[in-house]
Amino acid sequence: MTDTQVTWLTQESYDRLKGELDSLIANRPVIAAEINERREEGDLKENGGYHAAREEQGQQEARIRQLQELLNNAKVGEAPTQSGVALPGSVVTVYYDGDENDTETFLIATREEGAQGGKLETYSPSSPLGAALIDTKVGETREYTVPSGATVKVTLVKAEPYHS
């Protein structure tokens, strides 16, 4: 696995996600009891409470699998402390196609680790834009291909460590 395929997490983010996982696992008996209680109400075809409880169980199990996969494959470490280089965990400002007025500032991180409260757009290090920017130094221009097949030039203006 290359560094751009690894999910980088700070210890704080890892602990937060692990806490969510532990809470979901601890809640399994509650959901199972709810399903059993609803099942005893009778005809399952027209039992909305039973179907709602089963749906909730399915969503929680999917989130448990997602968190387990993420945490099992995550590399835990400190957020970058280096300025001037785009790394996972950096807040970067870029401009596109040579237009210095067309700037955007965002965090290079996974959605799970992304900026809390949605204050800052987050791009994955494995996304086309994120992958193009990794290890770029301020002033350098890189190219990447967007889903339409077009090539976009992106120039790094600023890179700073993210502080939540």
- Summarised one tens digit per residue, pLDDT across range 65-124 is 999 988 887 777 666 667 899 988 889 999 999 898 989 999 888 766 555 555 788 888
Does domain 5-75 sit in CATH 3.40.640.10?
no
Say what the pLDDT of residue 118 is: 59
Say what the pLDDT of residue 120 is: 80
CATH class for the region spanning 83-159? alpha beta
So where are the chain's domains?
5-75, 83-159
Chain center to CA of 159: 19
Strand partners, 105: 93
CB 152 within 8 A of CB 90: no
- Is the pTM higher than 0.75? no
Task: Tell me how far apart the alpha carbons of residues 56 and 34 are, in angstroms, rounded to a whole number.
Answer: 10
- Summarised one tens digit per residue, pLDDT across range 35-66 is 888 888 877 777 888 888 899 999 999 999 99
Q: Calculate Rg over the CA atoms of the chain.
A: 21
Task: State the pLDDT confidence band at 1, using cuts at 50, 70 and 90.
Answer: very low
Three-state DSSP string of the chain: CCCCCCEEECHHHHHHHHHHHHHHHHCHHHHHHHHHHHHCCCCCCCCHHHHHHHHHHHHHHHHHHHHHHHHHCEEECCCCCCCCECCCCEEEEEEECCEEEEEEEEEECCCCCCCHHHCCCEECCCCHHHHHHCCCECCCEEEEECCCCCEEEEEEEEEEECCC
